[in-house]
Amino acid sequence: MYRLAVASGKRSAIMLVMRYALLIVAIAAAPILAGAQSGPRTPWGDPDLQGIWPSGQLINVPFERPAEFGTRARLNDAEFAERAAALQKQADVDEFSTGGGGAVTPPSHWLEGGRPSRQASLIVDPPDGRLPPMTDDGTRRAAAWPSTNPSVPYARAQDFNIYDRCITRGVLGSAFPNIYSSGMEIIQTPGMVVLRYEMIHETRIIPLDRRPHLAPAIRSYMGDSRGRWEGQTLIVETTNFNGRTGSLGRNGNGNPTSEALRLVERFTRRDADTLEYSVTVHDPLTWTQPWTVAFPLIRDPGYVMYEYACHEGNYAIANILSAFRAAERAATNR
């Protein structure tokens, strides 16, 4: 009986020590937990992500990481200085430039020069910052993907890709940095988040009420988005794509996607003027594994979202097609 009492007393003492230890840990962690929940809030209590967050400042970050970097995701001091010097040199040229940029490109001073960044690539996963291999079917569809190369003898307007036709850039093309018109505005209401993109004037209305996705038969270029909060992070899952948008390149106009595409985006406000953005691409019919792009966005209250009147005054497709027909007639009459 004495042994049982001693053992019971030891257990009670151990439990008491453990309780005090847990209390000390909880007190120490309280500031950290409070910090995780801090940050601006909307009047209804959601984390406030509102503002204009242009991505053009990252236009000089490669989409895929140069192979010589391996798994190193950041530039060292010398590499960063080299990138900054190249940007400054281009800015000096643009300041005094008045000439055109060639047959199919605008003059450089029309474009956004970006800011120097230590990020080695927009792709952050796989760890080498490069796209994973495509499936056999993805490779086949990529080879047949409409090109923006004007040397291709287009037979009809539908032979151009959807960006050239001013239809859409898709979710990925809308989110990735571009050479101009890269503005993204976030607007919030109770139960909804709205993402408005400057180029090709896309607007995504994302409900936060846990409603299910639309029926699989209903598909679109921008898909069907549903959002939820996890702490300070807005997570947006998008499905129901039509498989006609691209996944690579600044305008989403390179490499196809399939109807199996599922995107998981994360928006986290790190401070008053920094928003961390990431998107993970799940498309098992096109890629052998998921891949992720991530980059910071800097809020710019002075940024102006201009109307992107893509069709008005746009004679490119009609002129390209008529030129091809004229070339074909000339070849026939030789």
Of 33 and 18, which is predicted with more confidence? 18
293-327 per-position pLDDT tens digit: 999 999 999 999 999 888 777 788 888 899 899 99
Average pLDDT over residues 233-257: 91
C-alpha distances in Å from residue 314, one per residue of 101, 150, 187, 198, 218: 18, 16, 30, 18, 31
pLDDT band at 94 (very low <50, low <70, confident <90, very high): confident
Between CA 53 and CA 169 the distance in angstroms is 18
271/45 Cα distance (integer angstroms): 17
Q: What is the pTM of this model?
A: 0.84
Give the H or E element holding residue 14: helix 2-36
Q: What is the DSSP string of 282-329?
A: E-TTTBSS-EEEEEEEE--TT--------STT--HHHHHHHHHHHHHH
The structure tokens 């979202």 sit at 305
Query: DSSP for 92-111?
Result: HHHHH--S---SSS--GGGS
- Could you read off the pLDDT of 139-197 as tens digits, one per residue? 999 988 887 666 677 888 888 888 888 899 999 999 999 888 999 999 999 999 999 99
CA distance 183 to 197: 6
Where are the domains positioned within the chain? 51-75+117-318
Confidence of residue 3 (pLDDT cuts 50, 70, 90): very low
Residue 79 near residue 18 (C-beta atoms within 8 A): no
